[in-house]
Structure 1
């Protein structure tokens, strides 16, 4: 196990490697590592958020006039720097967010991928030509930059979600102000340093994408400021209930990525070898701290016992420990509050008649006594009770049974959240039923793959209490732009629409 001193020293080395300034060890926001609970250093707080917003608004006026393919050149530079520093940034993600090595590197790869996507997108901000009823007229749509975009991110994906938003916003011609989670400010400092170097190489003002570090009050400032055209906020449903109405009250836009309570339906025809692998990663990966983590399994009663036995066997072999150890598959929870939620949910599940069939204990890791490690838990539930319908950000997998597919889909949809979902089946009819309008009500629906994890090519987001926002691929770029409908009269007449006559 890496010692407390080593983590702090290693963090300094990694920051230097990406060109970031050393941390102030005397004041500011204390950054800790969930691996050991060690304080990595103190990140300076942003003292004047208003000035940052003003600089972003000023930069927008010139940046919005830069041709989109030229804006893509900045994104290209960022992608190249991320490739160059992937290992260093990935390790920082592991140290500060507690992700295992491959997941830390995977998060940075996701940033690289969205940069590649953004470069191509910079030449594909297409509008439409629309048929008009009036002779001698042409009607079309154009997309224009929106303004300043505030990006508020969560600890579990401390850098990738910033990139999803910032790359699209920059290509769209917007400027960005980023408030990272107070739990993961160090990775934000590292990414900002890389971005500023990319801006220098591209000959662009770094004011087009800035960082603000602070507490809830900083986020509220971004939410309430009328100079912010779009607030993209990732976090809990509770947070979204506050952000959405406040942004709407000033007629701004909100893009919300909130809670998930993701399920997998396992059908009698499912390939159980594939199913077990898919379920275990989705439920235990990232210690259950993804918004797309698998929380519920709805399995046909004919295969339920077999599946639970196999899941239990797989869980018993999961190495829990320091995420910096290459053999570890389950790292720490982010903090003690997360552990409290884990314990409380298990207690509530037992009171509701649930039986813990695997895991459920705290794990003591040598050399990391202040780290919060738990054994991922499997709980068989007699019904979908309140605790099951509530998202707990920890590795708890509730298992329930069904007898027919309609019952399973109804159970699947009977939660407030609507982010990601999956079905495991080799029956084409079952798969297509799940993907139809009468099937999953989530923004993401998968077949023979778990709900956790997504490629950047598709739009990411969900429905209901998940917030309805869409980020990353497909046409999510439209959230960061404004649409204008243009009608051009190239005739010498002035016909009115709908046959209206006047004068």
Structure 2
């Protein structure tokens, strides 16, 4: 069993002093990977104090020096990609054939992109008779989710450090081991003590004290909408600025001239990425009613070809969800959908065959649903795709927008201009047209209950900057 210490404060590892023992289990087989005493309010206070002391010196460090240190850290993350991927396969369930990419190489690429963007960022400019300055907010708090823990560090902690903030990070206690590896890389890169601090504990014991600490100037959170609302409420008492990247129920809209052979498998892949544990997953497939049977036939054939199994097996396409609690939630959603009258196109409640005992496996499932059903409106965060038939382009747009969320989406058409016109009508923070590739430099964030603020590229830097006007 791996030995873990819950805090990294002022450049030193130490046990947590909270009252809750953190247990991290393997998504693959349910075995215990580690147990340790979690961080508590006292640890958070120490971390915030250390960050406050380190901030003046770090903020005064030249931008190019900060960027170079982040590039060094990115190289170390790159070298550890296989190790980090293997850890993520265990604690998140990410299939090993993609885990080093999304939990290692893409993280390093994003870190380098941040380093490049900060060197060209506008930190001061003349506006008429005024000099407008952009200065770091001071101590930033970052709270990350368990599904893509290191990518979230690359879009929260790294931009904050780049612009001169110091940071206290609280990762999800469900999957903290890759984050601990990331902090080891930061230390090896030579990051000064106190500049980045880590507290691994529960939301109640570590998260809430962090959000309400008076030394924190900005909070960035990725996770559920429910928790995001709680964080915003807590931060409001101190008038602390907040960035929220929350849930999603993103729609992939197939127009009547779409190439189904391309669009349908791509949407399925966009739904099942990381076993469906992706906030921007394409979990609603909106199709012309006249092409419904053809779409369902393609989906059923594609799902039948998927290898569901141990995430450590290179042949596995879909692994387990991350925890027993998440496994229970996904199955509850499926039971509710069947009770509501959803039609199973593929998959269902039965456990997959040939998977390791004790793991948190769910069969990839495709359901034909009505837009009003709960399964079509609530985030499942598992390998479940909802197919919705519509009778017109206008209805497709209306159904896509008829959601509490607005994080991502997709549009497919043989006519790129037509697809772009529909993309403009979707009330969501990101839309892929005909499979447009994810861009780490583009802004990422949501409309409505998917949150506010943006991450990625130069847009993510601005979340950690205050603006000052100097009258000359």
Name the TM tier (shorter chain): over 0.9
Deviations 1:109-160 (A, max 9, x none): 121112211221232121464553xxxxx32322111111111111101211
Q: Report how far residue 344 of structure 1 moved.
A: 2.1
Structure-1 residue corresponding to 2:31: 38
Taking the TM superposition and a 5 Å limit, the aligned residue runs for 1:351-370 are 351-364=339-352, 366=354, 368-370=356-358
Partner of 1:135: none
- Aligned to 1:398, the other structure's residue is in SS state strand
CA distance 1:167–1:128, change in 2 (3 Å): same
Question: Which residue number in structure 2 is paired with residue 313 of structure 1?
Answer: 301
CA contact (8 A) 1:362 1:373 kept: no
Report the equivalent of 1:5. none
Q: Deviations over 1:302-323 (max 9, x none)?
A: 2111011100110011100011
Unpaired runs of 5+ in structure 2?
5-11
Indicate yes or no: 2:182 matched with 1:159. Answer: no
1:476 aligns with 2:464: no
Hey, what does 2:335 align to over in structure 1?
Answer: 347
CA distance in structure 1 between the partners assigned to 2:403 and 2:161 by the alignment: 36
SS at match of 2:98: helix
How far apart in 2 are the matches of 1:364 and 1:301? 31
1:252 to 1:410, Cα distance in 2 relative to 1, 3 A: same
1:420 CA drift (Å): 0.3
The alpha carbon displacement at 1:70 in A equals 1.3
SS in structure 1 of the partner of residue 287 of structure 2: strand
CA RMSD across the alignment = 2.2
2:196 aligned with 1:209, yes or no?
A: yes
Misfit runs of 4+, over 4 Å? 20-24, 127-131, 364-367
Answer yes or no: is the 8 Å Cα contact 1:266–1:423 preserved in 2: yes
Decide whether aligned partners of structure 1 residues 455 and 103 sit closer, same or farther in structure 2, where only a CA change above 3 A counts: farther
How far apart, CA to CA, are the structure 2 residues paired with 1:466 and 1:66? 35
Which residue pairs with 2:174 in the alignment?
Answer: 183
Instruction: Give the TM-score taking structure 2 as reference length.
Output: 0.92
Label 1:128 to 1:52 Cα distance change in 2 as closer, same or farther (>3 A).
closer
1:101 is paired with a residue whose SS is coil
Tell me if structure 2 keeps the 8 A contact 1:121–1:171. Answer: no
2:257 matches 1:269:
yes
CA contact (8 A) 2:217 2:241 kept: yes
Pair 131,191 (structure 1): closer, same or farther in 2 beyond 3 Å: closer
Pairing 1:289-438 to 2, within 5 Å after superposition: 289-364=277-352, 366=354, 368-436=356-424
CA deviation profile, 1:285-339 (whole Å, cap 9, x unmatched):
2111110112111101121110111001100111000111111000001122222
Aligned pair in 2 of structure 1 residues 323, 178: CA closer, same or farther (>3 Å)?
A: same
Distance 1:344 1:41, change over 3 A: closer
1:459 matches 2:455: no
Could you tell me how far 1:359 is from its partner in structure 2? 0.2
Q: 1:343 and 1:40 mapped to 2: Cα distance? A: 24
3-state SS of 1:229 partner:
strand
Give the counterpart of 1:119 among 107, 115, 121.
115
Asked which structure has the greater CA Rg, the reply is 1
On the 8 A contact 2:371/2:399 being kept in 1, the answer is no
Task: Determine the C-alpha separation between the residues in 1 that align with 2:246 and 2:355.
Answer: 35
State the match for 1:491 in structure 2: none
The 3-state SS of whatever aligns with 1:303 is helix
For residues 229 and 278 of structure 2, the distance between their equivalents in structure 1, rounded to whole angstroms, comes to 20
Pairwise CA distance, 1:22? 12
Shift of 1:23: 11
Deviations 1:397-418 (A, max 9, x none): 1111111111110100000010
CA contact (8 A) 1:97 1:158 kept: no
Question: Which residue number corresponds to residue 495 of structure 1?
Answer: none
Q: Secondary structure at the match of 1:417?
A: coil
**CA distance in structure 1 between the partners assigned to 2:91 and 2:335 by the alignment:** 29
Number of residue pairs the alignment of both structures matches: 458
The question of whether the paired residues in 2 share the 8 Å contact of 1:92 and 1:187 is answered with yes
- 1:74 aligns with 69
